[in-house]
Each structure stands twice: as C-alpha cells, then as structure tokens.
Amino acid sequence: MIDPDQIQSGQDLAEQLSALYGEGGWSMHRLAEASGLSPATIQKMINGPGVPQARTLEAFVAACKQPAAPWLRARDRAVKNRGSAKPSVADLQEQLADARAQIRRAKAALHLNGGTPEQILKSHARQRLEQFAAQDPLIDPQNGHLYLVVHPATGAEDALVDLFTQRPEYQLDPIIRSIVRDRGHAEFSPDLDRGVWERRSTGCALVNGVDRETGAIREERFLETSVHEDGSVTLLCGAGSISTVSGWRHVSDVINEAPQYRVVSPWLVLGLTYGALALAGTLADTHASYQGDWLVGLRVTGLSGGAWAYEVVKRGDQDVVPPYNGSHYERIAVCETSDLLTPAALTEKLAGSLIRGLSIHSLVLPYPRTDT
C-alpha cells in the first residue's frame, strides 16, 4: 500500500517510490519525459537506499499525480534518521544527472521561447501581475492602487494545503504580527496586521476596508492580502496613490477651495512590499519546504498628471520638488526563497526607483532604516 506517512528511512522511501512507479504502469523513459528527470536518476530513486533531493522527489511524485507535501515530509524524516553523514558518491552522481537534465530543459526553453531563463521567468511574472490587476474588485476607482504578486516559479499546487485544513489564521496572524513588529518604522494605514480573514477558493485573504454588513468598500482603507494553496502571496491596496491638500495654504486658498494633490506614501509602498515578501518567504521555508525561484511583480497606478510623496505635500514643498512624471510604476524581479526571508534588498530593488522618482529617497532609503 502506498502511504508516504509510513516512510522513516531512505530504503522505505525507495520502496514507496518503486510501488508508485509500478502502480502507474510507467516505463523508465516515459516517467523521465513526464518528470524532467534523467532515467538514471529515476532508477536510483526506486532502487534506494539514498535520499533524493527535494526538488527531484517533487518532480517524481508530481508526474505520478501525487501531492508533494506528504512525500517531502517523508524525505525530511529519512534525512533526519540518516544522520549527518556526508553525501555518497551515488548522491553526487544523482545531483550531477539532475543538473544536466535542468541544463537540457533550459536550453530547450531558450530555443522555444527566445530569451534567457531570467527573461522568460520575468515574462511569466509580468503575466501574473497583469492577471491579478485585471481582477481588481473596484470598478471605478478614485485612487491609484498597489498590486503585488509573489509566486513560486516551480512550486507544487498544494504546497500549503495542510495550512488550510485547520484555521489558517491561527498560524498566519502570529507570522504577520512578527513581520510588522520586526519591520518597524513609520506607521501607515492600511497595514498588514489589520482586517478579517475570509476563505477563498484557492486559499484565504485578510481583508480590511470592507463594511461587514453592506459589503461596501472604503477604497482608501482597502487592503486584501491573500495566501494561496500553491504558496503564492498577492496583495491589493486601494491607497497606492490618493488625493490630499497641502499642509501649507496660499493666500488665495483662503477664498478659493484648496487644490488637491496626488500623493504616494513611501512608507506604505515599502512596508507592504517588505511584509508580503517576508510572509511568502516564511511560509515557503516553514510550511512548504520550497527553496526555488520566485516570480515577483509590483505595480502602482494613478500617477498620471504628476504625483508627489505624501511628506512633500504636507510640508508644502510641491512647488519646489518635481513630481513623479509616469502614469504608473511597475517593477518585475526573479529571486530565491532566501531573498524573501531577508527582504530588505529585494524591497529596494522593487520600489527604489519609485522612491527616488518621488525625491524622497534621502528620508526613507536604505530600507528598513534604523534612525526613524
């Protein structure tokens, strides 16, 4: 009987994989083609007793239509029970065979798609950002919106499914509070640690700025942070850019209505970006055991006609500081899980150009700052 929960050793794992191979009626070459692994690697996996790499095991069981999570936990037990022995020659040969298979797949991708692997991944990230922004529930927005997508490039579809079998907020709330606390710095609203959890078809979302009785959305307070079963995190904020009056009034404003200026809060952009990156990385590391590539996209809209940093307008300096002159802002990045676990550098990579374009970089960069 195939049951990864019974696996305790490398030999147990090999026997279960062998049973999975036999049950599927595979040939060595058909499974190699379906999984992207080499036939030699598959042969070693079903013969044992070595423990395959996590990504190798994930590719094998995915081709067999098995959820990855229980098999990766089984692998962790086998590794732990094996102790701290150095990799065997067979292990190193397996890693070499996998590396060669990955090179072949990368070359094939270059030939079919035209471009470097990073360019191809960035194209996929941009597509996901476009799809996410198109699902914005606010049909006639008055503000500019902030969209952020953090998606595992090769993760399993059920990477976080175990998280959602109970009450996910019991585990997610402490993680988010810890991220906000460690991030520190200027307060802004809306922020990640406010809202009500709602179940979604692909996970759950922490929603703020929606009237619980009428369902009406208060755009300036709207923030939806979604955690998906595939390990991705998406964020939509209704206050990417807003309109406000200057903190200083001209003499003519005493008679006439004070003009409105479009402003962006740099602390909000940096803080939400940092928090969403850290949330995705923490869940990948502690729940999904995913250490692969990530597709990340950030977009801020509503900048047409010029926009200033909130602090500039409140000081009354909008007449001497040039506005940001783009209609919207967008950055795409490819990173690894380690970049999400310590997200300061990636946060600046994504949002730094916008902050510099708003002429507010000396106040808020590098981020996070220790002097605010």
**What DSSP letter does each residue of 93-122 carry, written as one string?**
HHHHHHHHHHHHHHHHHHHHH-S-HHHHHH
List the chain domain ranges: 4-113, 121-364
Q: Which residues pair with 331 in a beta bridge?
A: 298
pLDDT band at 162 (very low <50, low <70, confident <90, very high): confident
Over residues 277-297, the pLDDT tens digits come to: 999 999 999 999 898 899 999
Amino acid at 296: V
Over residues 69-83, the pLDDT tens digits come to: 999 999 988 888 865
The number of CA neighbours under 13 Å toward the Cβ of 75 is: 20
Flag whether the pTM goes above 0.85.
Answer: no
pLDDT band at 1 (very low <50, low <70, confident <90, very high): confident
Over residues 317-343, the pLDDT tens digits come to: 988 999 998 899 999 999 999 999 999
* Record: fold of 4-113: 434 Repressor (Amino-terminal Domain) (1.10.260)
CB atoms < 10 A from the CB of 324, how many? Answer: 22
d(CA 220, CA 170): 27
Is residue 352 within 8 Å of 361, Cβ to Cβ? yes
**By 3-state DSSP, what share of the chain in percent is helix, strand and coil, each rounded to 5?**
50, 20, 35
If 0-12 CB within 10 Å is exposed, 13-18 middle and 19+ buried, where does residue 266 land?
A: buried
